[in-house]
Structure 1
Amino acid sequence: MNLLLYRYREARPCVQVPELKLVIQSSADWFQRYRFCQPLGQGGMGVIYLAEDKAQGNIQCVVKQLISKPSNPDEQFEAERLFKREVEILRQLDHSGIVRFSDFHVTDDGKYFLVMDYVPGKNLDSIVQNYGPFGSEATVEIGIQCCEVLEYLHERDQPIIYRDLKPSNLMLTPEGQIVFIDFGIARMFMPKQAATRVVTAGYSPPEQYFGRPETRSDLYALGATLGHLCTGVRPKPLTVSAPGITHPDVIPELDDLIRRLTAHNPEDRPFGAREVRYELYKIYHGIHPDFEIPEEALVPLQATVAPKKDGPPTNPNLRSGLHSDSSKRPANWLEREQPKEEDLQKVTRKDAERINYSDVQNPRKTSERLTRPDAKDSNYRRRNTQTQQPSQSFWDKLRQFFNK
């Protein structure tokens, strides 16, 4: 199975929809339409059910119900706000790599339901747990698909920050398609507006702990996710991922990219998902020299475009068509201070409980941060990319996993 075989299809165009208006419908009529089959899981905000839509020929769908918490009005209000925002965002999106919105309903007694298309397959976290790491080549293929979705989200007129990119939120279908499935904490990007502090330990960058996420926050999460996929090791909170140290078989170019993606300072990360996707294509070309990088991947490598008002530039100057030139980027373009190293150590116990991580580790001091290996180092250069190609047996096992 080669995931790239399924990627030569254009994303469906975005469908613009009117602003969300909550319409109270008859609960009896609504529940007659959907047949609840079985629960699929439960999170902090809701319960997920597999259901059938009788109005659409009993096609399978997923129904997400918001959990009511009457004992805590403030928490209930925040949960309802995030739930409504998830609906509002999903209504605007139409991409093959994003779960499709179908229906939304509020019952007579104030219960919230969100209906989405059913995505067959397994999430990447469960696959790694059952079959071990993907290996460098498959990780690169998955990263390319993730970048396509992030480009779609980040390059909208009003960019959307996903904020929760991690293996458990990425579904791999039997056809090899990666689908983003949970937009519960996604938000519209407003540079001068602080966001609710919602983080996932190990995958969230430092700025997200302070309610200051930006589009490059998703790139940090992407780097942490790719590091997890190619090594099978979960990332530690607020650290630079360096998969090549513990797993020498990781392709050096992929190891270097993951290090830069998980840099503490957003300015030290690649500028955007397009740039990252191009780098991933180059890595894939290094594995398979006969593979030609698609022309559309070269399109964004152009001159700088003037920045939008109150937002980042849509395209930076690129050195050699690859690395962003920070010297030509406006200083403090978000007009805010970056979190200081000592501030990152002040994560309270309440925050730790909220992110389900009881022992939040302090970040490494600047002098102790991991640096890229010297390109002249013989041990670093000795890694032969020809040995990185995943065995076909991995995909055979994965097919068996889907057929269970």
Structure 2
Amino acid sequence: WSINNSQLVLTLITIVVSIVQCLWKTSLCAMDELHSLDPRRQELLEARFTGVASGSTGSTGSCSVGAKASTNNESSNHSFGSLGSLSDKESETPEKKQSESSRGRKRKAENQNESSQGKSIGGRGHKISDYFEYQGGNGSSPVRGIPPAIRSPQNSHSHSTPSSSVRPNSPSPTALAFGDHPVVQPKQLSFKITQTDLTMLKLAALENNKNQDLEKKEGRIDDLLRANCDLRRQIDDQQKLLEKYKERLNKCISMSKKLLIEKSTQEKLSSREKSMQDRLRLGHFTTVRHGASFTEQWTDGFAFQNLVKQQEWVNQQREDIERQRKLLAKRKPPTANNSQAPSTNSEPKQRKNKAVNGAENDPFVRPNLPQLLTLAEYHEQEEIFKLRLGHLKKEEAEIQAELERLERVRNLHIRELKRINNEDNSQFKDHPTLNERYLLLHLLGRGGFSEVYKAFDLYEQRYAAVKIHQLNKSWRDEKKENYHKHACREYRIHKELDHPRIVKLYDYFSLDTDTFCTVLEYCEGNDLDFYLKQHKLMSEKEARSIVMQIVNALRYLNEIKPPIIHYDLKPGNILLVDGTACGEIKITDFGLSKIMDDDSYGVDGMDLTSQGAGTYWYLPPECFVVGKEPPKISNKVDVWSVGVIFFQCLYGRKPFGHNQSQQDILQENTILKATEVQFPVKPVVSSEAKAFIRRCLAYRKEDRFDVHQLANDPYLLPHMRRSNSSGNLHMAGLTASPTPPSSSIITY
């Protein structure tokens, strides 16, 4: 029975040791987790473990089991962190086995001895709890009998006291509990006792530092949480404010639309009222039937009719004065030489008078000859006639000037009538908002397949020109695709351009399959073509300023990569920003532009694939050459156009094919025959301007300037640079031809 009990106890001890090892690992993990806990929870857990450890230590210190425990009791500075060493117990177990085997007692005697021992202990048999009574008095569990340093390794590190330490030479609890009973150990168990230099003060300091760090971190976390809450509150406030501003902005946009529509409506009404008034004063169109067709015919208003009547009256007055001057010449008195003539001449005169007046018996009455005036009367009457003729000439000049002014006003009136008619027939006349952004105000003009409206950009708060391209619905899909491809090509070219002398392209969008729009920069003034129709010509300074700006834009087009040929430079594509010739200009309409990329552009230029397109008055001769291969063009095409525009600004007419149509120019080869330019006598133009025009209008493109050479032409340079260059040339001439010594004297 004792052997069986020993084996049972050994098994229980093995189980207890494994449980202690698991608890030790668990306590280490718990210790790591303890530092990450809330400080309050950490204090509660430490208090719980501290209380258990102190109770266990007290019970251990108060109990005593036999003489073996008292003899082996020595002081030790090592903390009791394990069950201790079992080497002493292991050395005692074989001796007990040998002594028990040598006794040779009977089974009955052993049973009696065991029963007597059991009676002497407590009057009962041995129990498992009897071996653990020294640990706390209860003996209910093997784990409870283990010292607190073993059960709670955390407390051994953080709350160990000198009173709870165990001497190193003291026997293990297992040896105390099972003094004389043999113990069979199946395997060697190794334990390590660790010694630390930490004291309670150091541990307290570390704990305080840790708590302070935790408090700082928690304070920082609280500050960040408060800041986060403040930021969230600010974001919410800003979001509400943003919504408020959006609502206010929408209200402002709605009000702007309303005001713009009201203003545009009033302008439309006033323009129509003015047109109705000008219809009577300047004229109007009337429909006249010619056979089976109807045509519109212009009828002048009363202002022109009054001027025509005044012109007729002036002509009649001039005729009367001329007739009276002839009669006055007949009554001119004889000069002094005639009065000193010999008297012999009087007889023929008398006979002549008789022949004129008739004989005395002549039955016919003949008119008397006009009486001769005195010399003073003659000169007086002649002076009156001269004054009247001068006054009539002045009136005629005034009538002519008024007629020219009325013609300019009539051109505006005709243009306004056509614009109003086109606007009334347009589907965009009721102020629609295109692309939820562009509010159309009124029509500016209409072309073949496009309409240009003045619009207001509601996003950018600026005026813009919206060009609406409308395809003919009867066109084939292939033709529509080509037109759309052409417009997209123009958009891609124009979108990349950024120069102060080129109209900016803002946007491009589609309305439906047959309608798309381009948004351009808006200019208040008219184009150069309208200005020339109104004023015929301009001064050389104004024309030179316009040409300088055009050449500046062309130089930009040839400096970008890849370079671009405009190919359609004409007065209609040059916008006057202020409507005057002394302001800024901008180039527009890149529909026929050519891109000089490396694939299509060679040494001789690029092939002209769109021969026949463009405005013939402003194209050079090489564009009209017909052959097996297409002609080669370069930026010299634009140089020719600049020369034609400059000539037209100076003289009020085109240099080639002025009164011809494009069809006549093409049939008669007018441009191909334009080998040399002829300058009119009036108005007077400087020789430098004529030389510049000749360089631009050179017939052979090899002799013509390109854009870069034209930009560096001396005529277009500023006045100071020209004077410096001319001064340098003059100084060079002086140094080349030395002067005599007498010419070196300086006079003041």
Q: What aligned pairs does 1:325-344 form with structure 2 within 5 A after superposition?
A: none
What whole-Å deviation, never above 9, does each CA across 1:126-179 have from its counterpart, x for those lacking one? 111112211222111111111100000012221100011111111122281110
Q: 1:115 matched to which residue of 2?
A: 519
Amino acid of the residue matched to residue 202 of structure 1? Answer: W
What whole-Å deviation, never above 9, does each CA across 1:271-291 have from its counterpart, x for those lacking one? 324434533325x63xxxxx4
Q: 1:64 matched to which residue of 2?
A: 467
Q: Does 1:143 align with 2:547?
A: yes
Between the two structures, name the one with larger relative contact order (CA 8 Å, sep ≥ 6): 1
Give TM-score, length-normalised by structure 1: 0.59
Do the aligned residues in 1 keep the contact of 2:455 with 2:465 (CA within 8 Å)?
yes
Q: What aligned pairs does 1:54-133 form with structure 2 within 5 A after superposition?
A: 54-57=458-461, 59-73=462-476, 75-133=479-537
Q: What aligned pairs does 1:368-379 form with structure 2 within 5 A after superposition?
A: none
What whole-Å deviation, never above 9, does each CA across 1:340-379 have from its counterpart, x for those lacking one? xxxxxxxxxxxxxxxxxxxxxxxxxxxxxxxxxxxxxxxx
Q: 1:222 matched to which residue of 2?
A: 642
Q: What aligned pairs does 1:146-295 form with structure 2 within 5 A after superposition?
A: 146-174=550-578, 176-189=583-596, 190-191=600-601, 192-197=606-611, 198-209=613-624, 212-237=632-657, 238=671, 239=674, 242=677, 244-247=679-682, 249-282=684-717, 285=719, 291-292=720-721
Q: How far apart, CA to CA, are the structure 1 residues paired with 2:637 and 2:690?
A: 19
Q: How far apart, CA to CA, are the structure 2 residues paired with 1:96 and 1:38?
A: 26
Do the aligned residues in 2 keep the contact of 1:170 with 1:181 (CA within 8 Å)?
yes
- Structure 1 runs of 4+ aligned residues shifted over 6 Å read none
CA gap 1:280/1:120 in 2 versus in 1, 3 angstroms:
farther
Give TM-score, length-normalised by structure 2: 0.33
CA gap 1:250/1:223 in 2 versus in 1, 3 angstroms:
same
What whole-Å deviation, never above 9, does each CA across 1:11-59 have from its counterpart, x for those lacking one? xxxxxxxxxxxxxxxxx985321111111112234221111111112x1
Do the aligned residues in 2 keep the contact of 1:97 with 1:179 (CA within 8 Å)?
yes
Amino acid of the residue matched to residue 255 of structure 1? Answer: K
CA gap 1:155/1:54 in 2 versus in 1, 3 angstroms:
same
CA gap 1:243/1:279 in 2 versus in 1, 3 angstroms:
farther
Q: How far apart, CA to CA, are the structure 2 residues paired with 1:64 and 1:53?
A: 14
Deviation, 1:122, is 2.0
Q: 2:351 matched to which residue of 1?
A: none
For structure 2, list consecutive stretches of 5 or more residues without a partner in the other structure: 1-431, 625-629, 658-670, 726-748
Q: How far apart, CA to CA, are the structure 2 residues paired with 1:213 and 1:45?
A: 28
Larger relative helix fraction: 2
Aligned pairs, number: 262
Q: How far apart, CA to CA, are the structure 2 residues paired with 1:241 and 1:83?
A: 37
What whole-Å deviation, never above 9, does each CA across 1:255-282 have from its counterpart, x for those lacking one? 1221221223211111324434533325
Deviation, 1:220, is 0.5
Q: How far apart, CA to CA, are the structure 2 residues paired with 1:46 and 1:263?
A: 36
CA gap 1:64/1:212 in 2 versus in 1, 3 angstroms:
farther
Deviation, 1:236, is 2.4
CA gap 1:240/1:53 in 2 versus in 1, 3 angstroms:
farther
CA gap 1:264/1:46 in 2 versus in 1, 3 angstroms:
farther
Do the aligned residues in 1 keep the contact of 2:557 with 2:564 (CA within 8 Å)?
yes
CA gap 1:259/1:91 in 2 versus in 1, 3 angstroms:
same
Do the aligned residues in 2 keep the contact of 1:167 with 1:225 (CA within 8 Å)?
yes
Do the aligned residues in 1 keep the contact of 2:527 with 2:576 (CA within 8 Å)?
yes
SS of equivalent residue, structure 2 residue 495: helix
Deviation, 1:222, is 0.7
Do the aligned residues in 1 keep the contact of 2:643 with 2:693 (CA within 8 Å)?
yes
